[in-house]
C-alpha cells in the first residue's frame, strides 16, 4: 500500500471515523520512539542523563529558566502531540470528544484516583471555583484558608463568603513547616465547614501535611480542599491515600503540559454533596427541558461541558506519559537535589534570608529567599536583563523575596551561574 494512502487511513481512524480504534491516539500518537524512550528510561546514574532530558525542551540556550512554578516549559513531544491531533481533527471536523475518556483514565491512574472522580478542566482556578460554588455554605459558616495560598486559591472563597455570609478565617503558617498542622487546627471551630490549603505552597515551596489534615477533616465532618498546582508532576500524588475531598491542579506547571489544561478530583463520597458549578452539553445523563428533566452524570465529568479543545487534553495525556517515562520519583529526587544544591550556597552567604525549610519532609523543588539589603523587584529585573535568568519575585504574605523553581531541565551549572550573578548584584 502506498505510504500516502497508509497515512491517510491512519488519520481517518484516529479522527474517530474508525471509532473502535480511537484510543490509539493516546497510545500511539507521538509516543517516543523506542530509541528516544531509552534515552529517558535508561541510564539514571549517568552524568549526561539530565542533559538528555533537558534537550527534550525548547528552552533557549544561555537562557536560564527558574520559573517553572509559574509556567513550565512544554517538551517537544507534547507540542507535537497537540499539533498532530489538531491537524487530524481539523481535517475531518471531528471534536474528538470520544477520545477524552481514555485520557481521563490514564491521568486519573497517575494521580491515584478513579476516572469517575476526575474532571478534565481548564486550570486549577476553575477547579477551585467549582468547589467553592458547590459546597453549601450558610451565614456564620467558617472557611479556613492558609496565608500562603495563591490568589486564585483564595479569591473564589472570598467571593462565595460575600454572597453567602460565610466567614473567612486565616491560618498563619510557620516557615519551618514543622508546626503547620497545629497552626491550622488552632483556628478551627465547630463552625468550620471547609479547610483550603496547598499541597506545596506557591510562596516558598513548603510541603504541607495533606494526609494528616485530610484525615482530621474526615473525622470532624469538615471538607478538605487542596490546591495541587505546585505538586502534581513535582512529587508523587496518590489522592486515595491522601484521603482528600477535593483536589485541583493544572497541566502547565510541573506536569509540563499545555496551557489551559487541568484536573479536578472529587472524591466519590462527595460527588452528590457538591452542587452548583457550570453545566452544559455533555454534563447530563438524562435531559428533557420541556419536562423539567435534568440528571447529571454520576461522575466528576459532569463539570465538563461544551466543545473542548481535545488536542490540548491529548497533549496533557502525553505530558503525563513523558513524566512516567522518566519516573515521578526520579523527578522528585532531582528537583530536591537541585534545591538543596542552591540551599547549600545560600545558607553561608551574608545578608541572605531563606524562607523555605531544608527538611525534606517539608520541602521539594522550590526555594524562596531574600537579599536583605536589596529590593526584590530590582533583583528580579537585573537577573533577567543582565544575566538572562528568569525567576519570580514573591510579594505574597509580605515575603518580598525571590523564588527559584528547580525543574527537570535545570542543572547544577545553571545554579552556579545564578549564584555568581547574585553575588555580583550584591557587590555592586
Task: For residue 103, give the CATH number of its domain.
Answer: 3.40.640.10
The CA–CA distances, whole Å, from 153 to 96, 198, 334, 364 equal 31, 9, 28, 20
CB 226 within 8 A of CB 197: yes
CB 161 within 8 A of CB 167: yes
d(CA 387, CA 295): 57
The CA–CA distances, whole Å, from 137 to 162, 166, 222, 282 equal 11, 6, 12, 27
Judge whether residue 402 has pLDDT over 60.
yes
Q: What is the DSSP string of 12-25?
A: HHHHTTTGGGTTHH
> Is 198 or 305 the better-scoring residue by pLDDT?
198
Of these ranges, 97-111, 267-281, 359-373, the one predicted with the greatest mean pLDDT is: 359-373
Q: What is the DSSP string of 380-401?
A: HHHHHHHH-EE-EEE-GGG--E
Instruction: Enter the DSSP assignment of 316.
Output: H
d(CA 394, CA 380): 10
Q: Write out pLDDT tens, residues 214-226.
A: 999 999 999 999 9
Both 333 and 384 in one domain: the answer is yes
Residue 139 burial class via C-beta count within 10 angstroms: exposed 0-12, middle 13-18, buried 19 and up: exposed
- Of 235, 209, 199, nearest to 124 by C-alpha is 199
d(CA 20, CA 399): 54
Both 286 and 389 in one domain: the answer is no
Q: Write out pLDDT tens, residues 133-185.
A: 999 999 999 999 999 999 999 999 999 999 999 999 999 999 998 999 999 99
Both 372 and 313 in one domain: the answer is no
d(CA 95, CA 99): 9
Both 236 and 358 in one domain: the answer is no
Domain boundary among 265, 291, 324: 324
Residue 73 placed within a domain: no
Both 118 and 237 in one domain: the answer is yes
Cell digits of residue 229? 498546582
d(CA 340, CA 376): 22
Domain boundary among 324, 341, 373: 324
The mean-pLDDT minimum among 20-29, 116-125, 126-135, 230-239 falls in: 20-29
Number of domains in the chain: 2
Q: Write out pLDDT tens, residues 346-399.
A: 999 999 999 999 999 999 999 999 999 999 999 999 999 999 999 999 998 889
Residue 63 placed within a domain: no
Q: Write out pLDDT tens, residues 325-338.
A: 999 999 999 999 99
Both 311 and 390 in one domain: the answer is no
The mean-pLDDT minimum among 22-26, 236-240, 339-343 falls in: 22-26
| pLDDT confidence bin for 101, thresholds 50/70/90 | confident
Q: Which residue has the cell 500511539?
A: 28
Per-residue pLDDT at 40:
59
d(CA 270, CA 245): 7
Residue 84 placed within a domain: no
CB 368 within 8 A of CB 392: no
Three-class SS state of 206: strand
Judge whether residue 12 has pLDDT over 60.
no
Both 333 and 290 in one domain: the answer is no
Domain extent for 422: 328-427
d(CA 290, CA 336): 58
Beta-bridge partners for 249: 263
CATH number at residue 405: 3.90.1150.10
Cell digits of residue 68? 517553572
d(CA 222, CA 143): 10
Residue 50 placed within a domain: no
Domain boundary among 292, 324, 356: 324
Three-class SS state of 263: strand
Cell digits of residue 426? 550584591
Counting Cα atoms < 13 Å in the Cβ hemisphere of 70 gives 11
Amino acid at each position: 500500500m502506498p505510504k500516502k494512502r497508509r497515512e491517510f487511513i491512519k488519520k481517518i481512524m484516529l479522527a474517530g471515523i474508525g471509532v473502535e480504534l480511537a484510543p490509539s491516539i493516546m497510545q500511539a500518537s507521538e509516543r517516543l520512539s523506542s530509541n528516544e524512550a531509552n534515552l529517558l528510561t535508561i541510564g539514571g546514574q549517568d552524568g549526561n542523563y539530565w542533559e538528555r532530558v533537558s534537550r527534550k525542551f525548547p528552552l533557549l540556550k544561555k537562557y536560564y529558566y527558574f520559573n517553572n512554578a509559574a509556567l513550565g516549559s512544554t517538551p517537544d513531544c507534547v507540542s507535537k502531540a497537540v499539533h498532530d491531533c489538531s491537524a487530524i481533527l481539523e481535517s475531518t471536523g471531528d471534536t474528538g470528544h470520544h477520545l477524552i475518556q481514555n485520557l481521563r483514565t490514564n491521568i486519573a491512574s497517575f494521580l491515584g484516583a478513579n476516572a469517575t472522580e476526575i474532571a478534565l478542566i481548564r486550570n486549577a482556578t476553575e477547579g477551585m471555583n467549582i468547589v467553592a460554588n458547590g459546597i453549601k455554605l450558610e451565614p456564620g459558616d467558617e472557611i479556613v484558608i492558609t496565608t500562603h495560598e495563591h490568589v486564585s486559591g483564595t479569591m473564589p472563597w472570598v467571593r462565595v463568603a460575600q454572597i453567602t455570609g460565610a466567614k473567612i478565617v486565616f491560618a498563619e503558617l510557620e516557615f519551618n513547616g514543622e508546626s503547620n498542622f497545629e497552626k491550622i487546627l488552632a483556628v478551627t471551630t465547630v463552625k468550620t465547614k471547609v479547610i483550603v490549603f496547598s499541597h506545596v505552597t506557591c510562596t516558598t515551596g513548603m510541603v504541607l501535611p495533606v494526609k494528616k489534615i485530610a484525615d482530621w477533616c474526615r473525622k470532624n465532618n469538615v471538607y478538605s480542599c487542596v490546591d495541587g498546582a505546585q505538586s502534581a508532576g513535582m512529587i508523587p500524588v496518590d489522592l486515595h491515600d491522601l484521603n482528600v475531598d477535593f483536589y485541583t491542579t493544572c497541566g502547565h506547571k510541573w506536569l509540563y503540559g499545555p496551557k489551559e489544561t487541568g484536573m479536578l478530583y472529587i472524591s466519590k463520597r462527595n460527588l452528590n454533596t457538591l452542587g452548583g458549578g457550570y453545566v452544559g452539553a455533555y454534563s447530563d445523563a438524562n435531559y428533557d427541558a420541556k419536562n423539567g428533566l435534568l440528571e447529571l452524570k454520576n461522575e466528576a465529568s459532569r463539570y465538563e461541558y461544551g466543545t473542548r479543545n481535545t488536542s490540548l487534553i491529548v497533549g496533557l495525556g502525553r505530558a503525563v506519559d513523558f513524566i512516567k517515562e522518566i519516573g515521578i520519583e526520579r523527578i522528585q529526587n532531582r528537583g530536591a537535589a537541585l534545591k538543596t544544591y542552591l540551599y547549600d550556597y545560600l545558607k553561608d552567604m551574608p545578608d541572605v534570608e531563606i524562607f523555605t525549610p531544608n527538611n525534606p519532609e517539608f520541602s521539594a523543588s522550590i526555594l524562596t529567599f531574600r537579599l536583605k539589603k536589596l529590593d526584590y523587584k530590582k533583583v528580579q529585573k537585573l537577573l533577567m536583563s543582565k544575566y538572562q535568568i528568569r525567576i519570580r519575585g514573591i510579594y505574597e504574605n509580605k515575603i518580598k523575596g525571590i523564588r527559584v523553581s528547580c525543574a527537570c531541565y535545570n542543572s547544577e551549572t545553571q545554579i552556579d551561574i545564578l549564584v555568581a550573578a547574585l553575588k555580583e548584584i550584591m557587590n555592586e
